[in-house]
Structure 1
Amino acid sequence: MALESPTFCNQYLRSAPEKEGIVTLPGFLYFWGWVFLITTTLVAFMKREVEPHDPEHMEVPDRDIKTAYNSLKEILKLRSVQMLVLILLTCKIGFSSTDSVMTLKLVESGIPKERLGLIAIPLIPVQLAMPLVIAKYTTGPRPLDIFLKAIPYRLVFGFIAAFLVWITPTLVPDATEGLPFLYVTFLVICYALHQVCVYCMFVSIMAFFAKISDSSVGGTYMTLLNTVTNLGGNWPGILALYFVDPLTWKQCEGGAESMDNSCRNAVEKELCLSKGGKCVTTLDGFYIETVICAVIGFVWLLWGSRKIRYIQSLDENAWKLHKRKRDR
């Protein structure tokens, strides 16, 4: 993000200014697209898999696309997996406003996106250390305990994020003159705390996937669970982005008949401008959405904590495909 900004590159990395950043989005995608194609091709031609002998499982059929999708269908028929999928699809609703909208609101408040991109640099040591620190707590029989403990902190962080967005225009009236040290410090601390919660949940859920995955289907099991996890984080974010504007309260100020115009749609906004007024935000929908998501998150925690403890208590056979095949 920082290398894409011409302002950042001209200020810190170039002796002569140019109109574009060092990296452009098309160039970035083009380069890594070729890297992906080349590495995938090399793996396809140079790597050979040897089927391991596992006496606990039935004979595994030849690996092909049809077999893989049949395995996915069989995995999804397991009651334990169905419960886990429901948990994964709903557990991130409470964080959706913070994860999807907070950064956009900071940019809307005037913070340059390249400056926000630079915040990730001091967080790299945190991101490297967190899996090592958390690993010893997720190697036991109950790796999702860390997952549950991180949820309340991540929900509370939503209010901290809302406060950060609210105070940004006051602390940074003009971002072109630079960001105050106090604000940058607070921003880094907020992002660091957020990353701690995110990595606690991520490492614990990955440890649980590794614990329950049936080795008879290779990486298919893990791929399915990871896909559901990603989907569970994406669909609430889409809704969060969609509802920010409808939840925002605005008022036309400065024009004729301004008190009757709430700027709820394009027609009212155009009418406000035509009368010499300006649509002013009286209550940002981000704050309303943060409260709604937090309430949903804490309610979900009451339900989800029981379900997570239940699936952790299940026997390993509840997650194995061979159990279903033997029962037929």
Structure 2
Amino acid sequence: ILLVVLYTIQGLPLGLTFSSVPLLLRSSSSYAEIAVFSLAGYPYCLKLLWSPIVDAVYSPKIGRRRSWVIPLQLILAVTLYFTSFYVDETVDQKKAPNIYTLTAVFFFLVTLAATQDIAVDGWALTLLSHKNQSAASMCQTIGLNVGFFLSFTLFLSLSSPTFCLNYLSLSAPLLSLSLYLKLCVGVYVLVTVVVILVGEGEEEMGEGGRVTVAGVYKQVIEISFLPSMRLLFVVLLSCKIAFIAHDSVTSLKLVDKGFGEENMGLFAVIEFPAQIFFAFQTERWCRGDKPLNPWFVGYIVRLVACALAPLAVYFYPEGDDVNPSHPYFYMYLGLTLVNAFGSTMMFVSIGAFFARISDISIGGTYLTLLNTLSNLGGTWPKFFILYLVDVLSHYECTKTQGDDEVLDFVCDSKDSSACSAAGGTCLAIRDGYYYCNILCLIIGFGLLWYFKGAIGRLQGLARTSWAPFSLEKKV
């Protein structure tokens, strides 16, 4: 339960950074500007740089993991509290948001959450017995999904005037981003009190006793040059390219076409329990000798979902009121659940594999190394894809009078006020989203057979193949 709670509060700032804020920005920002904001998520992929410090520096009186978890959560609470006073104005959809200030603030929040993740990952290896270590990825999946649910689904729904009017009969939204951040402050303080009161438990240090910062950095370098690790790195850095256009742009495109944010919230409400169920099922499948088999199945499922997504966007019934009574709502809901099934299978499966091969003496850093590469695989292409969508797109202002088209000039999808003032409509003559999606899918299908062989080789390696050279000599 403690692990699930800690991963949940970690998911609160991540859900805002990766999902909610980009949707709030879309109505007044270009894809290039959203690409700038996506840089706020990079600390989650760079946490390996400081993870040895988290593993090696701590107070024995407080505990190896609580020495970091307690102050980090308090700093997060303080940062969220002060941010709440000006965040609504910064994300104001009626005027150009201050992208760079917003990016800097969320960059700092994600850095704190990423550092907490290092400590919690290492704590998970000692809280769970070796035979139950595959459950660590299930706890992470459930916790992060709950955090994302609160920061994405619940927040967007209760901050949407349409949702509150249609489903709660309220004339005004219940939540603003400012109020939500203040509520998160209370959650962080409460959980921190619980962590202070709960003991850390016995910490196992592995073969070499207490490690030093220099020693951990040395072992990280040794691990990185292992032949087994090089193969795993290639898989982790390339496996999410196929999905990046869908994950980053599809929901934004649907919102552009009129698919309400309240519908996204309803989707996530339905998707949340399904992901929890998928996580439990996948954890059971990962208990055998081949924990990566569900990962490969999930990869294929996601390829299919991402191939169908552009069709769902292209055939969106513009002009219709898409709501829970419209057939399109259920069609896209089905596609969303298929993608969630594949995504959860991949996440839980790779997490179970990470827990199995990690060395407990540098557990936080070892898992961070692996999770960093896994996260980086889904982050490094994101900036380029969002930027490329804008570069490859072409919009023109058109107005039809009888059989003639007039006002034919280039316009900006972000700011079409000049076109509207002239009585025209800013239409996409060429949409870069489709080109980017096709490019990603070609790469994804091209790598399919490589991944099949790679996971077979990875699962066939002995546990000693993953140990640092310095520890291997001691065994």
Structure 2 residue runs of 5 or longer lacking an equivalent are 1-155, 400-404
- What is the match of residue 206 of structure 1? 351
SS in 1 for 2:395: strand
> Is contact 2:244–2:381 with CA below 8 Å preserved after alignment?
yes
Amino acid at match of 1:24: S
RMSD between superposed Cα atoms in Å: 3.2
Aligned equivalent of 2:101: none
For the 8 Å contact 1:252–1:277, the answer to whether it is kept is yes
The structural deviation recorded for 1:46 is 4.5
Distance 2:380 2:204 in 1: 38
Q: TM-score, normalised by structure 1?
A: 0.82
Q: Which of the residues 434, 442, 446 maps onto 1:287?
A: 434
With structure 2 as the length reference, what TM-score do the two structures score?
0.59
Task: Pick one of 225, 236, 242 that aligns with 1:88.
Answer: 236
Alignment match, 2:337: 192
Q: 2:273 aligns with which of 125, 128, 134?
A: 125
CA distance in 2, matches of 1:282, 1:185: 29
State whether residues 324 and 330 of structure 2, in contact with CA within 8 Å, keep that contact through their aligned partners in structure 1.
Answer: no
Find the partner of 1:298 among 445, 450, 454. Answer: 445
Structure 2 match to 1:244: 389
2:307 maps to 159
Q: Which residue of 2 aligns with 1:59?
A: 208
Structure 1 counterpart of 2:295: 147
Contact in 1 for aligned 2:419/2:425 (Cα 8 Å): yes
Q: Using the alignment, how far apart are the partners of 1:117 and 1:262 within structure 2?
A: 34
Alpha-carbon distance in 2 for matches of 1:156, 1:216: 40
Q: How does 1:34-53 map to 2 (within 5 A)?
A: 34-40=186-192, 42-43=194-195, 46-52=198-204
- Indicate whether 1:318 and 2:318 are aligned: no
Mapped to 2, the partners of 1:133 and 1:48 lie a distance apart of 29
Q: 1:68 to 1:271 in 2, by over 3 A?
A: same
Residue type of the alignment partner of 1:86:
V
The whole-number CA distance in structure 2 between the counterparts of 1:276 and 1:112 is 25
2:181 to 2, 19, 29: 29
- Provide the C-alpha distance between the structure 2 equivalents of 1:142 and 1:25, rounded to a whole number of angstroms: 43
SS at match of 2:353: helix
- Between the aligned partners of 1:144 and 1:80, the Cα distance in structure 2 is 15
Deviation string 1:25-61 (CA, Å, 9 cap, x unpaired) is: 12222322443355346535753442337xxx52322
Alignment-mate amino acid for residue 10 of structure 1: L
Kept in 2: contact 1:155–1:297 (CA 8 A):
yes
Q: For the structure 1 residues 71 and 45, does the alpha-carbon distance in structure 2 shift closer, same or farther, using more than 3 Å as the test?
A: farther
Quick check: 1:106 aligned with 2:254? yes
Of residues 228, 244, 247, the one that matches 2:373 is 228
Give identity over the alignment, percent.
32
Give the aligned residue type for 1:313: G
* Secondary structure in structure 2 of the residue aligned to 1:151: helix
Kindly tell me: are residues 69 and 9 of structure 1, through their superposed partners in 2, closer, same or farther at Cα, counting changes over 3 Å? farther
What is the CA deviation profile of residues 256-275 of structure 1, one whole-angstrom value per residue up to 9, with x for unaligned ones?
684xx565999xx9998898
Q: Is the 8 A contact 1:144 1:312 kept in 2?
A: yes
Residue 250 of structure 1: SS of its match in structure 2?
A: strand
CA offset digits 1:57-79 (Å, max 9, x no partner):
523225x6666555544433433
Distance 1:119 1:293 in 2: 25
Residue 294 of structure 1: how far off its partner (Å): 0.3
**Paired residues of 2:222 and 2:469 also in contact (CA < 8 A):** no
Q: Deviations over 1:222-246 (max 9, x none)?
A: 2332232222212222222211121
Once the two structures are TM-superposed, the CA of residue 2 in structure 1 deviates from its matched residue by: 0.4
Contact 1:96/1:233, CA 8 A, preserved across alignment: yes
Q: Distance in 2 between matches of 1:257 and 1:23?
A: 41
User: How has the CA–CA distance of structure 1 residues 278 and 322 changed in structure 2, closer, same or farther, with 3 Å as cutoff?
Assistant: same
* Residue 160 (structure 2) aligns with: 5
**8 Å CA contact 1:317, 1:323 repeated in 2:** no
CA spacing shift, 1:274–1:46, aligned 2, 3 Å: closer
Deviation at 1:217, TM superposition (A): 2.1
Matched, 1:173 2:319: yes
What code does the residue aligned with 1:231 have? L
CA deviation vs aligned residue, 1:270-294 (integer Å, no higher than 9, x gap) = 9988988654212321111111110
On the 8 A contact 2:391/2:432 being kept in 1, the answer is yes
CA shift, 1:218, in A, is 2.9
SS in 2 for 1:119: helix
Pick closer, same or farther for the CA change 1:271–1:128 going to 2, 3 Å. closer
Distance 1:73 1:35, change over 3 A: farther
Counterpart of 1:2 in 2: which secondary structure? helix
Counterpart residue identity of residue 443, structure 2: I
CA 1:105 to 1:270, structure 2 compared with 1: closer, same or farther past 3 Å?
closer
The CA distance in 2 between the partners of 1:79 and 1:41, in whole Å, is 44
Letter in 2 for 1:60: G
Q: Aligned partners of 1:65, 1:117: CA distance in 2, in Å?
A: 44
